[in-house]
Chain A
């Protein structure tokens, strides 16, 4: 039965590079249209201004001139979505990385120290988990004001918990594993233990978790924008664009649809990458 485990493990990691190669060979043809689209987007981005207002051309339908239509100020939605990609994905990524680092550090520390420190941390997180994310963010924004930085602080403040819990669990499990005990038995000190043993083994589920959390971050950003707490106009942030455009759902559906699609597609893609990294089991997201 052990050998079942080992063969299963073997196949996963061995096939990595092969899979990659096969994937590339299979899809290199698909790269051609992708390149064309990317080139077009880059060109479009350089030739258009996301904040150029044209009140004479409000709510234009998608057309040749404005491939995704225009919004309530006559701004080109395609340009704004490209601009928003930098802001939204950037903000979500930075926020996510920060949450991941803070959460992982705390969780690892708690698991490392174990005992009452660990219990205390988990008790704290258990009760903070009971406070809705949006309310945490609401408080953070009300303290720091409504701007992108504040929003990111808010998202980070609300987001480190799941990572702390997850890394607590993972590192806790690792600490009890034979090979960590073995390393300690052979005299390895904390520094080298963390760098060579704990981190490499904890990284994968944590990274996967980060990717799986990505859509959630996008949604939180957007939800805060909806409540008027997001980045302020004219920032072309997707969540803000979507929140602002929801009013037009019936009259000019493409206005909310375009940023909405951008969020869904990005979230979907990130989650798929996360699943690919994670492979075997979806980690239970602890909210």
Chain B
């Protein structure tokens, strides 16, 4: 299991092959799509009974590497190098589709990147499992069916009978992910490749999925290639780690890969004077959605009797399970949603209800930073123009607006070249910086941050949080920070509330 830090040299790569019991080995893998080489000199071995993590920035080539290992690269891709799987002699990079289809599912299981999307939406869970079983084993339909419940139970799914009959859309994200793992492991392959199996799941679920994988590793001597960008995951489960930077891999034992840089926040960040009046007052807010459907038209309550009041220059953390109502509350605070009960005031001005402030005044009171950095920027305008726009809406001259926008964008860490490009040419982190600048330029009293870093790489999360902290010092804004990551909230917030079953209570 000893591996050197991989360089691009062939000699060291060859040394890797000699390691004990590799169930998946990749040597000098190179993948090119449309003339651009996306993955270069990637070599590593995955040993049976271990979890091998593949980490790296978004777009660095993790997914392509894993796809090369199951022969599912997009049709235009060209490859060189060697991919071997335990039990098959050939270099799999050369074999035809027929051979591959007999290997996939039997020797190597694959779990895709998107938990919700990787199950066929129109087939029941049991159909999808049975199909996988019968492909590689001579089972009749009813024989296969008899195994279904065991397989589902083996991935810790509660109520396997119900899940078997369900369509994927009737399952939560975590359940989908378990089913996907069950399908991948149903024929007892020796290798499991899982591409970000826990992203977009809440912390609890994440934990339990990883436990499940770990259990199968020790039980079945399964070799797992686990792709992730979540540092905590690596810390928790990895036996070995390979880091891909711009398509080039380096492997090491787990450890602190990048020193954690905790944001230097609150230099002068004293909690506000008690004399200061509460800037945000949420009183008895309730919200229910009208359920759509032809059968029942009952109201579905999402939030009940939410009361929070908070002072400027503080950060309020909001945690809760997926679907608990965090975004709903945030949108009510921002005036984007009308509550069914209660009221919201910012700096004494009503945000909701009759007599509420107009659009322009509201923009000075509260702003919103969205979870999706790409989706929240107009793809056809430069960041500079988009950040200047709120000032122009506030009646400032074009020149003044642009000057201030430019300065703020510099402050959040963007250079002139980046801010005059269309946003489609920016990375997620850069886009989120633009989004933050846009929210802050009018110096609002309250800024709602709805999962501002969830979609970003772990390497830039801290930077973004640091920028937010700096800006809070500048503007004395109140932050309402939403995240499903407990650790992040705990670190960043002054007060924490948890949303459980529509009820908000302080932690």
Interface residues of A (CB under 8 A from B): 1-7, 9-10, 13-14, 177-179, 181-189, 192, 196-197, 200-201
Contacts and interface: CB of A to CB of B under 8 A. Distances in A.
A201 B378 contact: yes
Given A10-B425, A187-B394, A178 B379 contact: no
Given A185-B368, A192-B389, A200 B114 contact: no
Given A189-B393, A197-B378, A2 B425 contact: no
A2 B428 contact: yes
B381 interface: yes
Given A186-B393, A188-B393, A179 B377 contact: yes
SS of B interface (majority): loop
Given A185-B366, A188-B393, 20 more contacts: A2-B374, A2-B455, A4-B63, A7-B59, A9-B424, A13-B425, A178-B370, A178-B376, A179-B376, A179-B379, A181-B336, A183-B389, A185-B336, A185-B367, A187-B362, A188-B390, A192-B389, A196-B378, A196-B381, A200-B380
Contacts of A197: 378, 381
A13 B377 contact: no
Contact of B370 (A2, A4, A5, A182): A182
Contact of A1 (B114, B367, B427): B114
Contacts of A4: 63
A9 B372 CA distance: 15
Contacts of B17: none
A187 B360 contact: yes
Given A3-B58, A200-B381, A182 B376 contact: yes
A112 to B, nearest CB: 15
11 contacts: A4-B63, A10-B424, A178-B376, A182-B377, A185-B334, A185-B362, A185-B366, A186-B390, A186-B438, A188-B393, A196-B381
A179 B422 CA distance: 14
B424 A13 contact: yes
B293 to A, nearest CB: 18
A186 B424 contact: no
Contacts of B381: 196-197, 200
A201 B368 contact: no
Contacts of B394: 187
A181 B371 CA distance: 13
Contacts of A2: 58, 372, 374, 428, 455
B47 interface: no
A49 B12 CA distance: 81
B375 interface: yes
Given A178-B370, A178-B372, A201 B390 contact: no
Given A3-B428, A192-B393, A183 B374 contact: no
B113 interface: yes
B173 to A, nearest CB: 13
Given A1-B114, A192-B393, A187 B442 contact: yes
Interface in B346-390: 359-360, 362-364, 366-368, 370, 372, 374-381, 385, 389-390
Q: Could you say which of A6, A177, A189, A201 has the most chain B C-beta atoms within 10 Å of its C-beta?
A: A6
Nearest to B360: A187
Nearest to A6: B374
B392 interface: yes
Contact of B422 (A13, A182, A187): A13
A187 B359 contact: yes
Contacts of B367: 185-186
Contacts of B425: 10, 13-14
Contacts of B197: none
Nearest to B113: A1
Given A187-B390, A188-B389, A9 B428 contact: no
B453 to A, nearest CB: 13
B180 to A, nearest CB: 14
Contacts of B427: 6
B435 interface: yes
Given A187-B390, A189-B393, A182 B368 contact: yes
Nearest to B456: A2
Interface string B400-431: 00000000000000000000001011011000
Contacts of B380: 200-201
A252 to B, nearest CB: 48
Contacts of B392: 192
B379 A201 contact: yes
